[in-house]
Chains A and B, each alone.
Chain A
Amino acid sequence: MEITFEHVTHSYDVNSPTANLGLDDVSFTIKDKLFTAIVGQTGSGKSTLVRHINALLKPTSGSIKVGDRLLTPETNNKNLKPLRKKIGMVFQFPESQLFEETVEKDIMFGPMNFGATEEEARTSAHKMIQLVGLDESYLKKSPFDLSGGQMRRVAIAGVLASDPETIILDEPTAGLDPVGRKEIMDLFKQLQAEGKTIILITHNMDDVANYADEMAVIHRGKLVAHGLPQEVFNNQELLKDNLLTLPQSAEFAQDLAQKDFKFDQLPITIAELGAKIKQQLSGETNG
């Protein structure tokens, strides 16, 4: 689903003179079926931004077009179910999303809430738990007896179970071990290949470089950049103002360029970095 923000401003405290702005005049389009990463410092407004997409927050001014649905300051809480069925959201702290006695009931809640039969929901739970890399024995456990990373996986399974078209992930891999993180990131990429739109909030720039088609940078509630990761990570203005950290490969290339090595564009993945180093170290020996 295509999602378009038009001059969206969100004030958390309309009455305060310092108007605690969560979002400040944000306009951009998140394209259908792409993998879009949203980055920015803590407190910059990333969670505030994505909470507008499923109308958990309403804009103070401006509008958000989600598919054929228009969300405005006047949008009321009635009839949001169809929208929320299409947009799955994994929250920043998964614990806040788990509430049933067993993992199975927890995963079944979403589909049943959106009209699936108990049987369908159960089938879905059995499928999803394996998709997120846990075996079926976890279904009978209490979600609160799990380690942080296991809870995270259950929360993701719960969202996938309703088969949303668009999946919003608010720092979904914080707390997963690196091997688990890669598995989960690969899963999101696979879901995209199957036709889903993925929106990922993350602090991990290597994941942005390796997985995202486009990225948006938020700073103090404003959108300061939006484009291909390769372009954004080479945006000198952003780097000069310290609004962005680089993937490890780009940082390493930047250091190497202090002497001898030259990079017209900073490489953002290890494969690109390796290729460019090899090129420069072999180029002259061959010729």
Chain B
Amino acid sequence: MEKIISIKDLNYTYPDSQNAAIDHLTLDIYKNEWLSIVGKNGSGKSTLTKLIDGLIEADSGTIAVDGQVINEKNIWNARTKIGIIFQNPDHQFVGATVEDDVAFGLENQGMPREQMLKEVDHALKLVKMADFKKRDPQSLSGGQKQRVAIAGVLATRPQIVIMDESTSMLDPDGRKTVLDLIQQLRKEQDLTIISITHDIEETELSQRIVVLNSGKIVKDGKPDVIYNLGADLQEYGLDEPFTSKLMSVLGKQLKLPDGYLSEGELKNQLWKLHSNM
């Protein structure tokens, strides 16, 4: 597998802070992978994102993006490959209309106007916000703003999309629309997705989950390996999966297999028990 991001022994402490926000962190992310990064509030997830995008500079260690170790000179080039969707869309708006806002990133890339208009329309359609293109972004509801921010990032066609808790403001339907869309684009356009989330269901879409705690990676594995931690997940600020909570309520009387079961597997087990009665 080809590495798209390779992080080696990265360290970062905020000025005036006693504790390292990122602490000897080493991580490889592969092309076309969907990686989830999870962990408590304050565990360093957003700091890592800012370091990857070169918004802040590491104290030591290296980050390579698409084979090139980033430094002050080439960071602009690396940034064109990365699209970040932040937690709070309010900080991201620059345009007077939704349409202008989405166009902003493309203008920066020097795209001809005619092509730009097409790309903007396309991106707004993808997030189901085409009807709002003449509106002032500030007049939108929280979730609508977040969709526009997502369109702005998708329009620039990045190779790597980092979602920093960007679905936390969306309603369940909106969240599904966005996640399905990202998944589809990942497959069609060979995107790499780094998704920072607190939603355990959202991590089911990923191939790998990395758990951060105090700036260090404390777990790195396939989703079912991580889910198998059950109630221990709470130590890292995570929720226990729904099925393991239900299985603890059902107790030992029912003959259910040990370990993590997906919802589908648990339903099958319960139907089996029912028909054996």
Contacts and interface: CB of A to CB of B under 8 A. Distances in A.
A55 B273 CA distance: 56
A198 B169 CA distance: 20
B165 A171 contact: no
Contact of B141 (A43, A249, A259): A43
B55 interface: no
Contacts of A147: 41-42, 46
A184 B140 CA distance: 27
Interface stretch (A2-10, A88-96, A101-109, A158-166): A88-96
B87 interface: yes
Contact of A42 (B139, B142, B270, B273): B142
Interface size class of A (residues with CB under 8 A): 35 or more
A148 B198 contact: no
B238 A174 contact: no
A182 B142 CA distance: 23
Contacts, number: 131
A253 to B, nearest CB: 10
Contact of B140 (A43, A255, A284): A43
Contacts of A271: 249
Interface in A64-98: 92-93, 95-96
B173 interface: yes
Contacts of B238: 177-179
Contacts of B139: 12
B239 interface: yes
A281 to B, nearest CB: 6
Interface string B52-79: 0000000000000000000000000000
B171 interface: yes
Contacts of B270: 256, 261, 277, 281
B172 interface: yes
A176 B198 contact: yes
B138 to A, nearest CB: 11
B41 A43 contact: no
Most chain A CB within 10 A, of B140, B200, B239, is at B239
B271 A41 contact: no
Top 10 closest A-B pairs, CB basis?
A: A42-B143, A149-B41, A274-B249, A177-B237, A178-B239, A43-B141, A260-B274, A174-B168, A245-B172, A147-B42
24 contacts: A12-B139, A42-B141, A47-B142, A92-B169, A93-B88, A93-B142, A148-B87, A174-B169, A177-B41, A178-B237, A179-B40, A203-B170, A242-B173, A248-B242, A252-B242, A252-B267, A259-B274, A260-B271, A261-B274, A271-B249, A273-B246, A278-B250, A282-B253, A284-B277
Interface of A: 12, 40-44, 47, 92-93, 95-96, 145, 147-150, 171, 174-181, 203, 205, 242, 245, 248-249, 252, 255-256, 259-261, 270-271, 273-275, 277-278, 280-282, 284-285
